[in-house]
Amino acid sequence: MREYDFVVVGSGIAGLSFALKAAKHGSVAVITKRKGDDSNTAWAQGGIACVTSSEDSFDLHLRDTVEAGAGLCDEATVRTIVTEGPERIRELTEFGLLFDEREVAGQREPDLGREGGHSKRRVLHVQDVTGLEIEKTLLRELERCAQVELLENHMAVDLITAGKLGFAAEDRCLGVYVLDDRTSEVETIRTDRLVLATGGCGKVYLYTTNPDIATGDGVAMAWRAGATIANMEFIQFHPTCLFHAEAKSFLISEAVRGEGGILRNSRGENFMRRYHPQQSLAPRDIVARAIDAEIKRSGAKCVYLDITHKPPEFLRERFPHIFETCLRFGIDMTKQPIPVVPAAHYQCGGIKTDVNGATSLPGLYAIGEVGCTGLHGANRLASNSLLEGLVVAHRACEALVREQPPTHPARVIPLPEWQPGDVQDVDELVVIYHNWGEIRRLMWDYVGIVRTAKRLQRASARLRNLQREIREFYWNFRVTVDLLELRNLATVAALIVDSALSRKESRGLHFTLDHPEVEDRHFKRDTLLSRT
């Protein structure tokens, strides 16, 4: 059995930031199921929203965030994260991250981008590969830190809690079982300060901008351990994913619209004029529904993002990654509009936490996309996610050091080793792949941008059957990464559907034809799910 003062599951901006800070207070393990740079963060293009300009203010950033969140943001949390952002950005730059700059009146200043829902330019970026540069910067720092052990190709299976072990005292997190994918052995890792930073669940949908690792692992594990889950009905669909038969999950950053890109339908019309005063820069929930409506109305397969009116040299310099990727698929964005469709992008709900990342289960924290702090409400404001990861990681470390010293009495509770039971190797992988495909298809068809009660009920019934099949498979066969991801996908899909069925109104990212209006009297509140 390994033992660490801190264990963090996930290697994106939140997990790595936490690990670097926690290393000053003890031993740290970072568990990641693939390589260190396999994270949602590495795929983030747009940047980090942060007040750095004299033309901007914390109050404006707060107002934009709350307006996008459709009445469900926790304003105290929003203010904390917005106001603490600049200091966390400064720490990133001290690690060597260089955000893009421009020269104004002989002075260098940040080259700020603008995205949907923002009233000012406030998005710091590194061309259109901001997340990748952040990931590389943090991993470089991690390599220099002797107190941190990076466990690649290790996948967390389940949390170990006092309650599961039958102790009558206060339930709390005691550690985690982890599958070493290289040896197929499950290890016991002990800690009473465990942090989930596993990102979101985009792969629960057929079409997503997320990488393959985004299978909802953290939410599923926390749910099985008894932690409270919040607002899982609010899944953000990014309006502009590249539409091409050979392109897999490639995002066209909202920054393209921020620099003047116009959404047009198959007839070349700027259709967003009919939907919102901010047109193509309206909040994401509005733009995604508008595109969905245009596609269904016209029968077209996609809409188009047109930025051909901008100088070619500007586009190649500002969006080199997008330009080269589109060109590889035969699309020259300097001369022709980019075909785009919405795709599942971001989980606005998650494990319910406070602004420090503390969950309802003592000893367990959740930071980044996996947690639900109240920042995003019913719809995330563009580029607030990386900011939240930085700020909450910092606060979580401070809180854990302050509130849970390493001499906690829970350390005397004995932890059992993993018991595989009488199992056999998986002999029919087709069962896993079929169930995986069925979950993703039914979620796309029944629990997408626009919903109905009948579709949600059908999804719920089928998911219950799938969960029974997967549970039987789980207990009879040796665990693998594929099987664990399938198990987690089914759990998270069911949580999304249950949450959506309980919200009988339309708010933010949850739009149902059966209840198309906002209903504050009963539903201006979080949707909370708990097994206890």
Report the pLDDT value the prediction gives residue 170, as an integer from 0 to 100: 81
What is the C-alpha to C-alpha distance for residues 221 and 241, in angstroms, rounded to an integer? Answer: 29
Give the mean pLDDT of 398-424. Answer: 78
CB 214 within 8 A of CB 350: no
Distant-in-sequence, close-in-space partners of 131: CB < 8 Å, separation ≥ 6: 13, 40, 41, 42, 43, 44, 45, 386
- Helices of type H across 265-335: 284-298, 312-318, 320-328
What is the C-alpha to C-alpha distance for residues 385 and 393, in angstroms, rounded to an integer? Answer: 12
Q: Where are the domains of the chain?
A: 241-342, 429-529
Cα first-last separation, the chain: 29
Residue 468, classified by CB atoms within 10 Å of its CB into exposed (0-12), middle (13-18) or buried (19+), is exposed
Query: Could you say which of 122, 284, 289, 451 is catalytic?
Result: 284
Report the candidate in 220, 133, 178, 224 with the shortest Cα–Cα distance to residue 30. Answer: 178
Catalytic annotation present for 140: no
Query: Can you count the helices (H) and strands (E) in the chain?
Result: 14, 21
| pLDDT tens digits along 45-62 | 989 999 999 999 999 999
Report the pLDDT value the prediction gives residue 107, as an integer from 0 to 100: 86
CB atoms within 10 A of CB 334: 16
Fold of domain 429-529: Methane Monooxygenase Hydroxylase; Chain G, domain 1 (1.20.58)
| pLDDT tens digits along 278-332 | 999 999 999 999 999 999 999 999 999 999 999 999 999 999 999 999 999 999 9
φ, ψ (nearest 5 deg) of residue 126 = -120, 90
Structure tokens at 207: 């079409």
Structure tokens at 361: 């289960």
- Helices of type H across 420-508: 429-446, 453-476, 481-502
| pLDDT tens digits along 422-448 | 777 766 678 888 999 999 999 999 999
Looking at the chain, the whole-number percentage of residues with pLDDT higher than 90 is: 88
Residue-level length of the chain: 532
241-342 under CATH 3.90.700.10, yes or no: yes
What is the C-alpha to C-alpha distance for residues 38 and 32, in angstroms, rounded to an integer? Answer: 8
What is the C-alpha to C-alpha distance for residues 8 and 366, in angstroms, rounded to an integer? Answer: 9
CA angle centred on 231, ends 226 and 237, rounded to 5°:
130
What is the C-alpha to C-alpha distance for residues 458 and 58, in angstroms, rounded to an integer? Answer: 44
Rg (CA), the chain: 22
Of residues 433 and 33, the one with the higher pLDDT is: 33
Residue 494, classified by CB atoms within 10 Å of its CB into exposed (0-12), middle (13-18) or buried (19+), is buried
Q: What DSSP letter does each residue of 380-397 carry, written as one string?
A: PPTT-HHHHHHHHHHHHH
Report the candidate in 402, 382, 315, 427 with the shortest Cα–Cα distance to residue 21. Answer: 402
- pTM as predicted: 0.94
Report the candidate in 448, 439, 456 with the shortest Cα–Cα distance to residue 504. Answer: 456
What is the C-alpha to C-alpha distance for residues 313 and 461, in angstroms, rounded to an integer? Answer: 53
pLDDT band at 408 (very low <50, low <70, confident <90, very high): low
Structure tokens at 270: 């700027």
Structure tokens at 463: 């998911």
pLDDT band at 405 (very low <50, low <70, confident <90, very high): low
Structure tokens at 168: 């009558």
Of residues 92 and 168, the one with the higher pLDDT is: 92
CB 51 within 8 A of CB 86: yes
Give the mean pLDDT of 361-385. Answer: 97
CB atoms within 10 A of CB 206: 16
On the question of pLDDT at 407 being above 60, the answer is: no
